[in-house]
Amino acid sequence: MKKLLILGASGSIGTQTLDVIITYKLYDLVAITVGNRFDIVDEIIAKFPTVKYVTIKEKNVADKYQEKYPNLQFYSGNEGLLKIIEDSKADVVVNALTGFAGLLPSIKSLELNKILCLANKESLVVGGEFIKKLLKEGKGKLYPIDSEHVAIAKCLYNKNINDVDKILITASGGPFFDLDKNEFKNIKVEDALKHPNWSMGKKITIDSSTMMNKAFEIVEAYYLFDVPPNKIFPLVDRKSHVHSLVKFNNGEYRLQVGPSDMRIPIYYALTFGKCDNNDKFDDVEINTFDNYEFKEMNYEKFPLINYGKFIIEKKGNMGAIINAANEECVYEFLNFNINYVDIKNIIDKIVDVYPYIKNPTLDEIIKTDHEVRNLVHELI
């Protein structure tokens, strides 16, 4: 049985990955990272005795667990995220980390010829060119976990990418799709965290409300499917039954339908795109099929979505600039330090003033990330 490492085992995707592998007995789980959620380490180790390697964010906490479990290997910090990939000898790495922290582990996984199951959007948004280069060199393999990109992959099954007319990435529209734009200034944190269809982490839930999440998914689709950006569009399905659509040059549409359950795309990624019927997830009632109603994206109300194609057009360090600004703004909003509308305003300002680098090194990408974060706090 193949060995599995879950980066971000304590988050929403990570815990659902644990559910999938225990239900279907797919892997030997040999390694996990849990960030600051060290309170679940005991539970995971008890449930998965095959775990031999663990990374915790804080060194002093990792040291305490090392004393408690002398037969296991504990690591700490960002260095531990990379060390565990190499030492665990895992065949497959699920990257369910949040934000920029997922970039270097994705690159490391591919460099070591691992199979990378990717839920970390930022890896492609910030480092898409680096990852694309590794894959072209035959380093590792990559399977998406995002429900939209798994849906696209299923729609493209047995199809030639040159036959694609357009890829339509569906969005729920979030909690504010029907809210008047003039009311955005009154949006509170608790309002933005009420996603209508999905249960996700706080950061990605806010990104879904601003549509920055969808901007990043456009970038992901560009790198995953090698389709030009002028063929990638968002489309709103308020019920989130249709996870994405593909239109082909002959006028044929394919769409993937399913419940709002992330275990389905996780299962797909963990079985390397296996489209069988062994999974036992909740069904979608067939009498809903005539109720699909699609709406156009409102670019005026959700202008951040335009940054998706902007990142693709500019490449360089632009993804790093926008991602770092967005991450810091979202966290500051969640901490009640800025208003909802400030998220866009600050990102726009950062894009205007921070130096653009056309062909950055990885070190320059890391430097961009660090400096932009500091600049956000100066502006605030």
Give tens-digit pLDDT for 8-28. Answer: 999 999 999 999 999 999 899
State yes or no: pLDDT of 279 exceeds 90: no
Alpha helices in the chain (DSSP H): 12-24, 41-47, 59-68, 77-87, 103-111, 122-136, 147-155, 189-192, 202-210, 212-225, 263-270, 307-314, 318-334, 340-353, 362-379
Domain ranges of the chain: 3-144, 149-306, 316-380
**Mean pLDDT, rounded, of the chain:** 93
Q: What is the 3-state secondary structure (H, E, C) of 182-240?
A: HHHHHCCHHHHCCCCCCCCCHHHHHHHHHCHHHHHHHHHHHHHHCCCHHHEEEEEECCC
3-144: CATH architecture: 3-Layer(aba) Sandwich (3.40)
How many Cβ atoms are within 10 Å of 146's Cβ, its own excluded?
A: 25
Q: In what order do the strands lie in the sheet with 164-171?
A: 253-257, 242-248, 164-171, 232-237, 294-295
**CA separation for the pair 37, 207 (Å, rounded):** 22
Residue type, 140: G
Cβ(171)–Cβ(235) below 8 Å: yes
Average pLDDT over residues 231-242: 91
Average pLDDT over residues 151-156: 93
Poorest-pLDDT segment among 44-53, 116-125, 256-265, 362-371: 256-265
Q: Report domain 316-380's class.
A: mainly alpha
Cβ(128)–Cβ(313) below 8 Å: no
What is the 8-class DSSP label of residue 289? Answer: G
Give tens-digit pLDDT for 82-106. Answer: 999 999 999 999 999 999 999 999 9
Q: How far is CA 277 from CA 253, 254, 256, 268, 274, in A?
A: 22, 19, 15, 11, 9
Give the contacts of 266 (CB within 8 A, at least 6 positions apart). Answer: 13, 16, 17, 20, 94, 117, 145
Give tens-digit pLDDT for 157-168. Answer: 889 999 999 999
State yes or no: pLDDT of 281 exceeds 50: no
Cβ(233)–Cβ(239) below 8 Å: no
Give the contacts of 249 (CB within 8 A, at least 6 positions apart). Answer: 163, 164, 165
β-strands 115-118, 92-95: how paired?
A: parallel
Give tens-digit pLDDT for 336-375. Answer: 999 999 999 999 999 999 999 999 999 999 999 999 999 9
Q: Which residues pair with 4 in a beta bridge?
A: 29, 92
Residue 10 has which token pair? 């304590």
Cβ(127)–Cβ(106) below 8 Å: yes
Residue 32, phi then psi, degrees to nearest 5: -145, 155
Among 257, 232, 234, which Cα is nearest to 151's? 257
State yes or no: pLDDT of 283 exceeds 50: no
What's the pTM value of the predicted model, to 2 decimals? 0.93
Give tens-digit pLDDT for 118-139. Answer: 999 999 999 999 999 999 999 9
